[in-house]
Amino acid sequence: MTSNVEAMHCSLRRIVIIAGLLLAGVSGVSAQKNPEYIFPTAAFNEEDVARQMEDGGATIDGLAKLKKKGRTYFPWKGDRIQLYPVTPYLTEFLELQKKYRKGKKIASMSNTVFSYHIEGRVLDEDGHFQFRDVKPGKYYIVTWIDYEKSYQYKVQTGRETARNGYGEVVYSIPTYTWYTHKYAVEQEVSGIVEVTGDGKMSAVISN
């Protein structure tokens, strides 16, 4: 296995334990005061998920992209991309996430559930990624892609004044200069991939 793939590839036996929340809402939590965290109520079978994350014989060769107003954006090389086994708990979380993406309530999941995922890295500037040694089953894959937004605004920079032959002001109107402000916005891109057997399979996740 080449070094760049090794840098991206996380063994399926590895459990990443990170104290924090999953996916959306994390960046907005700091700006809110005392948000209410909404957790799924579905049971989470830790033993079943641990078995699901054991090494298998499949490889997922994937592509992540985001389409906005006729343009296609890709994640940066080295950006994180995550894989989660699909469980009733995760399915409920994704539904809660749609409902509580912003505001005083934030969809969340327990640190135990969050720990059962694989943290990979995007391989190139064209959005390709790879997860190896995967067992058959359904997986939720998610990453975050930056895209460009802009808005225009005007600033008064002077006045235009006209006078008649007697020097009297006929009219005086403000003059403006228009500016365009461009900035990057991050959007979550995700999809569910089903691995049916060993070998390589292709997958595309998009909005």
- In this prediction the pTM is 0.70
Residue 129 has pLDDT above 90, yes or no: yes
Identify the pLDDT of residue 89.
95
Stretch among 19-33, 69-83, 112-126, 187-201 having the lowest mean pLDDT: 19-33
Q: Within a domain: residue 152?
A: no
Q: Which residues contact 57 (CB under 8 A, 6 or more apart)?
A: 133, 135, 198, 199
Mean pLDDT for the chain overall = 83
pLDDT (tens digit per residue) in 49-74: 999 999 999 999 999 999 988 889 99
What's the full length of the chain, in residues? 207
Q: Is residue 39 part of a domain?
A: yes
Strand ranges in the chain using DSSP code E only, listed in sequence order: 36-38, 58-64, 66-68, 71-73, 80-85, 105-107, 118-121, 128-134, 137-163, 169-195, 199-205
Non-local CB neighbours of 25 within 8 Å, separated by 6+ positions: 97, 100, 101, 102, 106, 107, 108
Indicate whether 38 pLDDT > 50: yes
Answer yes or no: is 187 within a domain: no
- Total number of domains in the chain: 1
Would residue 175 count as lying in a domain?
no
**Burial of 8 (C-beta count, 10 Å sphere; 0-12/13-18/19+):** buried
Within a domain: residue 55? Answer: yes
Structural domain harbouring 108: 3-144+192-205
